[in-house]
Structure 1
Amino acid sequence: MTRDEFDAFCKSLPATTNVIQWGNASVWKVGGKIFAVCSSWGEGAHPKVSFKCSDISYSLLTQQEGLIPAPYLARAKWVQMEQENALSDKDLKAYVEAAHKIIAAKLTKKQQKDLGLAD
């Protein structure tokens, strides 16, 4: 998945915002809280995607080749896709969508309602 494809997918999720920070990282948030990051450093470098995941997914994914505990965020159960194509685009989208749901669920009920994420 290219960075543009990643950004388009994250933009399609409900109530998301995007900022470019930490150099040139595309940081995606819901309710002001980060759920996924895409960074690529240097010319021709493939994008490295990091995302929040459940405890079970974290345990499984960090044992898979090409995926590592995300630098600075591992203690919060974040994973980074170090190698291009370590996950299929379909699987990556599913994990990013799950990350969005995990973070959105941690927002207050008022925030969820204000963002149109709850009734």
Structure 2
Amino acid sequence: MTRDEFDTYCAQLTAATHVVQWGGASVWKVGGKIFALAPIVEEGSFQKISFKVSDFAYEILTQQQGIIPAPYLARAKWVQINSDDTMSEADLKSHLRDAHEIIASKLTKKMRAQLGL
């Protein structure tokens, strides 16, 4: 998944907002809390993507080739996809949607209502 495809998909998730920070990383949030990010990479390089996962998914995914605990975020159960052939685009989109839902579920009822979640 390219950075443009990543951004396009995340933009479709309910109440998702986008900022560019940390030296050019594409950061996606819901209710002000990050659910996925893609750091800037050299043109033509594989786009690494990091996202929040459940405790169970973290244990499973970090055992797969091409997926590592996300730098600086692993303690919060984030993973990073490091290889283009690690998972299908459909599976990656499913994980991004799940990451959005995990973070959204931690927002207050009032905030979820304000965001239409």
Task: Decide: shared fold, TM above 0.5.
Answer: yes
Residue deviations 1:46-68 (CA, integer Å, cap 9, x gap): 11000000001000000000000
Unaligned runs of 5+ in 1: none
Q: Report sequence identity in percent.
A: 61
Count of residues in Structure 1 that have an aligned counterpart in Structure 2: 117
Of 58-67 and 31-40, deviating more is: 31-40
Residue deviations 1:67-107 (CA, integer Å, cap 9, x gap): 00000000000000011221110000000000000000000
Q: What's 1:40 paired with?
A: 40
Letter in 2 for 1:51: F
User: What is the DSSP-based 3-state SS (H/G/I as helix, E as strand, rest coil) of the residue aligned with 1:112?
Assistant: helix
Q: What's 1:98 paired with?
A: 98
Q: What's 1:50 paired with?
A: 50
| Structure 1 contact 40–46 (Cα < 8 Å) conserved | no
Tell me, in whole angstroms, the C-alpha distance in 1 between the residues paired with 2:44 and 2:112: 39
Unaligned runs of 5+ in 2: none
Using structure 1 for the length normalisation, give the TM-score: 0.95
Using structure 2 for the length normalisation, give the TM-score: 0.97
Tell me, in whole angstroms, the C-alpha distance in 1 between the residues paired with 2:8 and 2:87: 18
Moved over 6 A (4+): none
Please give the residue correspondences for 1:64-75 in structure 2 after superposition, counting only pairs within 5 Å.
Answer: 64-75=64-75
